[in-house]
């Protein structure tokens, strides 16, 4: 009997154990001047924190942090890394390393952390690309070549090139340490401006391979929202509603906030873009909140081996 038990234990010990997969929920949000703009000082703070709590995100990529970091982190009970006045990353999990590349790209634009998900490391980066040229003014009556020339008058192409350059060593390790990169890219995606959508969303008949999203794709990144929602004609994923009155142009719905990722051990399971309701009541997961920002947010859930 004793030998039989020993043999059984040996068999169990030799049986390959199935990898336990973990989930990581990431939220990316430009909260508009720290969520406490002078327009909505008290209600804005309450709305920002209430929405973040309700999201139950494990990691939050914040843009336009401007003084909100300690209050938000304390309210959530999370650790945080304040990359710059603009960018902050909050994490339910311990932060092992902090990344900045000031010799190549400003911390106002980019920075990141490595977290420890109960023994699983993940690298996560927060991003803000310049807001000019203003996407609300996209000259949709022009040819694609002319639209791209207009886009390249700004600095976003240069910024994303520098970011991808400093990330190159980490992307080479992405199959063992997954990489997530989100934020406010202030520019459209080529995955949204397609033949199927050229006559929708006030795209004016334009089909455009926007350089920033193309560069991300060519660098091996997947757009978590568009992967889960592959048909932009059915679901654009609005994160920014333009103010038509201020620009005397047609109101256009845009997706300019993203959560990208790459690595063999990570897979997007869910992703949703939540439209902004600036200054209005926002119903989220069965509860109403005051919405303080001019941007919607992206919420993506990943499975990680």
pLDDT of residue 260: 99
Per-residue pLDDT band at 40 (split at 50, 70, 90): confident
DSSP 27: E
Distance of CA 194 to the CA centre of its chain: 21
Between strands 79-82 and 87-91, the pairing is antiparallel
Per-residue pLDDT band at 44 (split at 50, 70, 90): confident
C-beta separation of 26 from 259 below 8 A: yes
CB-based burial label for 264 (10 Å; 0-12, 13-18, 19+)? exposed
DSSP 166: H
For residue 142, the tally of other CB atoms under 10 A from its CB is: 14
- Mean pLDDT score across all residues of the chain: 91
pLDDT over 70 (residue 252): no
pLDDT of residue 248: 45
> pLDDT exceeding 70 applies to what percent of the chain?
90
How many residues appear in the chain?
A: 305
Average pLDDT on 177-200 reads: 97
**The tokens of 79 are what?**
């650790």
* pLDDT tens, residue by residue, 116-155: 999 999 999 999 999 999 998 999 999 999 999 999 999 9
* pLDDT tens, residue by residue, 288-304: 999 999 899 999 999 99
Which of helix, strand or coil describes residue 284? strand
C-beta separation of 207 from 143 below 8 A: no
pLDDT of residue 11: 55
pLDDT of residue 1: 57
C-beta separation of 128 from 87 below 8 A: yes
Return d(Cα 300, Cα 302) in angstroms, integer: 7
More confident residue, 258 or 136: 258
Read off the pTM: 0.92
* Residue keyed to tokens 């945080």: 80
Per-residue pLDDT band at 42 (split at 50, 70, 90): confident
Residue 188 CB partners (closer than 8 Å, separation 6+): 135, 138, 208, 210, 213, 254, 255, 256
Per-residue pLDDT band at 213 (split at 50, 70, 90): very high
Beta bridge partners of 297: 29, 274
Phi and psi torsions of 218, nearest 5°:
-65, -25
**The tokens of 265 are what?**
């051990």
pLDDT of residue 211: 98
Average pLDDT on 12-30 reads: 79
* pLDDT tens, residue by residue, 146-159: 999 999 999 999 99
Per-residue pLDDT band at 245 (split at 50, 70, 90): very low
CB-based burial label for 57 (10 Å; 0-12, 13-18, 19+)? buried
* pLDDT tens, residue by residue, 52-85: 999 999 999 999 999 999 999 999 999 999 999 9
Residue 68 CB partners (closer than 8 Å, separation 6+): 31, 34, 35, 36, 45, 48, 62, 88
pLDDT of residue 35: 82
* Residue keyed to tokens 């929602």: 229
Average pLDDT on 274-287 reads: 91
Beta bridge partners of 257: 184
C-beta separation of 88 from 69 below 8 A: yes
**The tokens of 262 are what?**
């790459």
pLDDT over 70 (residue 274): yes
């Amino acid at each position: 009997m004793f030998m039989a038990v020993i043999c059984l234990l040996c068999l169990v010990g030799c049986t390959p154990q199935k990898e336990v997969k973990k989930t990581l929920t990431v939220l990316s949000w430009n909260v508009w001047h720290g969520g406490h703009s002078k327009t909505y000082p008290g209600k804005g703070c309450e709305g920002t924190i209430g929405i973040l709590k309700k999201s139950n995100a494990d990691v939050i990529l914040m843009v336009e942090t401007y003084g909100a970091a300690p209050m938000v982190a304390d309210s959530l009970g999370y650790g945080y890394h304040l990359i710059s006045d603009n960018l902050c990353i909050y994490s339910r999990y311990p932060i092992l390393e902090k990344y900045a590349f000031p010799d190549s790209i400003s911390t106002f634009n980019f920075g990141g952390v490595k977290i420890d998900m109960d023994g699983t490391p993940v690298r996560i980066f927060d991003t803000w690309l310049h807001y000019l040229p203003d996407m609300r003014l996209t000259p949709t009556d022009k040819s694609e070549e002319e639209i791209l020339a207009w886009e390249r008058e700004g600095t976003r192409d240069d910024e994303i090139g520098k970011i991808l350059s400093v990330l190159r060593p980490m992307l080479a390790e992405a199959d063992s340490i997954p990489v997530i990169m989100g934020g406010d890219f202030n520019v459209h995606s080529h995955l949204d401006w397609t033949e199927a959508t050229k006559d929708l969303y006030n795209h004016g008949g334009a089909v455009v391979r926007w350089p920033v999203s193309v560069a991300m794709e060519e660098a091996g990144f997947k757009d978590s929202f568009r992967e889960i929602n592959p048909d932009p004609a059915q679901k654009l994923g609005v994160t920014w509603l333009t103010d038509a009155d201020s620009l005397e142009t047609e109101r256009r719905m845009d997706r300019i906030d993203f959560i990208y990722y790459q690595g063999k051990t990570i897979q997007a399971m869910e992703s949703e873009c939540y439209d902004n309701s600036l200054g209005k009541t926002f119903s989220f997961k069965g509860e109403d909140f005051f919405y303080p920002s001019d941007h919607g947010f992206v919420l993506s859930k990943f499975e990680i081996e």
